[in-house]
Structure 1
Amino acid sequence: MEREGVPPPPPPPPPPSSGAGATILGKYRLGRFLGQGSFAKVYEAQSLADGTTVAVKIIDKKAKTFDAAMEPLIIGEIEAMRRLKHHPNILRIHEVMATKSKIFLVVELAAGGELLSRIAGRKTMKESEARRYFQQLISALRFCHRNGVAHRDVKPQNLLLDRSGKLKVSDFGLSALPERIKNGMLHTACGTPAFTAPEILLRRNGGYDGAKADAWSCGVILHVILAGKLPFSDVNLAGMCKQIHRREINLPDSISKPARKLIFHLLDPNPNTRLSIERLAETPWFKKSLPPEPENPIFEARDCCCYYKSSDLLAVNAFDIISLSSGLDLSGLFDERRKERRFATGMTAEAAMERAREVGEGLGYRTERGKGWSVGMGKGRVVVVAAAMEVAPGLVMGELKVAEGGGEIGEAHWEELRSRLGEAGLSWINDVV
């Protein structure tokens, strides 16, 4: 379907022969190919444990288009989805897995495709139907903002539908978490120009409010689904900015007056007077036939595992960070016969190894310092090597590994090590799901 200002998305390329049918770390079997970006492919997949159908985003860290600058975006996407996983209109993340070369994001499958596909063959959407989807979008974004997350890339391509037609907000790669805010404002220019607030495009006043920027994008979305076109032409960026500044919005007469008023106030170029999402949610047009708001908890650190503070910065989940570390192969985390265990701590690598040495000696091991931040521990035929490295400011990851030819350690011994390390301030992370 071609519509003014909103070109149809290109069809996905044919599935790579090496993808479908493959098994990921013994947990998921890949199915049909769904699409791809510059360094990631998305497949439908089936859990080998319970047969449920999911989507798997495979990020290739060895792709030519992948660079170190992308890792913070991936970390941010994982962190945002973990914080927001309780809301029914936000695409749910199930699991993160990784090897040295690939990261696997296992998420809910949105079998209904993009929202715009629902109006394929029609130019616009009935106002009552548009309001129903818009209510779900606003509910999701209110939940994001109450949990300190600004999406910053709200556009039709990121609004998906599940099999029953429920809206799912996706793609949090450009989202902003509270720890990225300086003096209450965001400073990074991002997003898709046609849906991006003018204060981000023009970069004035040294910063912008992420929630107000999302409100602008909602105004563009509402205009698109009711009018069948973008409110401002994005053929020429300078011309589009002039239209925005002059507030030149041409709304069809078929749109009701209350809806026209909402669009007009959401597309206010001045963020200080723009209609906020919270105020929008109280308007009569929006509240008409509004279903009960889901009771979702505000995010707390206990909702995820292994969080650490570095000054006033809340670090990302330790499992997620180690997943993104280019020097660590996590495939052993999913092998029950593995000969290694991992831990995390907020202390320095040197201090962590000193604690590990003390634990080893307390359990009767003979210990010997190795190269860098490592300690060898031996008892009888068993030789265990402990090593640590800093993977982020204030976060050190460590590994205990049975040396080659160093015998076997039973689960009881691992449990004893886990208990003693926990007492020493080193948190076991192998049990994170």
Structure 2
Amino acid sequence: MKLDKKVCKIPGGIANVQREFSILKQLDHPNIIRLIESFRVESKEKLYLIFEFCVTSLDYMLEDSSLKRMNEYQTHYYFDQIIAGLEYLHTNGVIHKDIKPTNLLVNEENILKIADFGVAEKHENPSDDVCFMSQGTPAFQAPEVVMGDNPTFHGRCIDIWACGVTLYRMVTGDYPYHGNVLMKLFDNIVNEQFVIPLNVHLSEELQNG
């Protein structure tokens, strides 16, 4: 299979595209991005994937707002859709491994779509969620991944943790853990307790889960 030359130069790029294509063909849910068509242009050595049209991403919406965050009503509206889409994925043996606002798109009907399955894994047995590699975004990684003590981890837990980081980002406009270098970020994820910024006022219902 001939792919875009740029993809071929990325470590694991071809495998990621093939994996994403294979997974997307099997998915059908209102909160999962829909692959409409795919075709190759051999003369250009390119593979084209045509997706349904989305107008923005959750990340762009957050960055475009004055406070860099959403109110609780907006957060509940979108987060409910994230969980619905993720439940569908997990029920069908798919671990996304890179849930974050950049990969959460929104269409013209204001419906959220989980996108970018380049590092996702598909398990034939849905009850098996053991993963051996994490290629997700560092700030959204779970403690058991960044500790590096165990060669395996449970993928559903990783996705749920990333949803929690996303929720924190939506309601506070920030990330729960920081670090000026990667190892400091990972150390904080493992050892620090996140706090809600003093200028953010959340309902008791949201704070207590």
TM-score range, shorter chain: 0.7 to 0.9
Per the alignment, residue 103 of structure 1 pairs with: 47
Does 2:137 correspond to 1:192?
A: yes
Tell me which residue corresponds to 2:201: 254
- Equivalence for 2:151: 206
Please give the secondary structure, in 1, of the residue aligned with 2:78: helix
Change (3 A) 1:173 1:226: same
**Partner Cα distance (1:67, 1:255) in 2:** 42
**CA apart distance, 1:184:** 5.1
Counterpart for residue 66 of structure 2: 122
- Contact 1:155 1:195 survives alignment (8 Å): yes
* Aligned partner of residue 12 in structure 2, secondary structure: helix
- The counterpart of 1:135, out of the listed 80, 83, 89, is 80
After TM superposition, the runs of 4+ consecutive aligned structure 1 residues lying more than 3 A away are: none
How far apart, CA to CA, are the structure 2 residues paired with 1:64 and 1:186?
24
Percent identity between matched residues is 29
Compared CA separation, residues 67 and 133, structure 1 to 2 (3 A): closer
Deviation at residue 251 of structure 1 after TM alignment = 0.8
Q: 1:375-431: per-residue Cα shift (whole Å, max 9, x none)? A: xxxxxxxxxxxxxxxxxxxxxxxxxxxxxxxxxxxxxxxxxxxxxxxxxxxxxxxxx
1:83 aligns to what SS in structure 2? coil
Alpha-carbon contact 2:147-2:190 (below 8 Å) kept = no
Which of 84, 87, 92 aligns to 2:29? It is 87
Task: Call closer, same or farther: CA 1:158–1:234 in 2, change over 3 Å.
Answer: farther
Q: Is the 8 A contact 1:196 1:213 kept in 2?
A: yes
- Bigger Rg, structure 1 or 2: 1
Distance 1:197 1:121 in 2: 27
Q: In structure 1, how many angstroms separate the alpha carbons of the residues matched to 2:125 and 2:39? A: 25
Question: What's the offset of the Cα at 1:87?
Answer: 0.6
Q: Secondary structure at the match of 2:47?
A: strand
Structure 1 CA distance, aligned partners of 2:147 and 2:107? 36
CA distance, structure 2, for counterparts of residue 184 and residue 158 of structure 1: 21
1:226 alignment counterpart: 171
- Are 1:242 and 2:187 an aligned pair? yes
Which of the residues 172, 178, 197 maps onto 2:123?
Answer: 178
Amino acid at match of 1:95: E
2:25 is paired with a residue of what secondary structure? helix
Question: 1:63 aligns to what SS in structure 2?
Answer: helix
Question: Cα distance 1:136–1:184, how it changes in 2: closer, same or farther (>3 A)?
Answer: closer
Distance 1:258 1:211 in 2: 25
Change (3 A) 1:236 1:103: same
Scaled by the length of structure 1, the TM-score of the pair is: 0.44
Deviation track 1:189-245 (CA, whole Å, cap 9, x = no partner) reads 311001111222223222011110000000100000101100001432222223222
Distance across 2 between alignment mates of 1:204 and 1:96: 40
Distance of aligned partners of 1:63 and 1:242 in 2 relative to their CA distance in 1, 3 Å threshold: closer
Alignment match of 2:21 (pick from 78, 81, 85): 78
Q: Which has the higher helix share?
A: 2
Any unmatched runs of 5+ in structure 1? 1-58, 263-433
Question: How many Å separate the matches in 1 of 2:98 and 2:176?
Answer: 17
Give unpaired runs (5+ residues) of structure 2: none
Q: Which has the higher contact order (CA 8 A, sep 6+)?
A: 2
Structure 2 length-normalised TM: 0.87
Partner of 2:4: 61
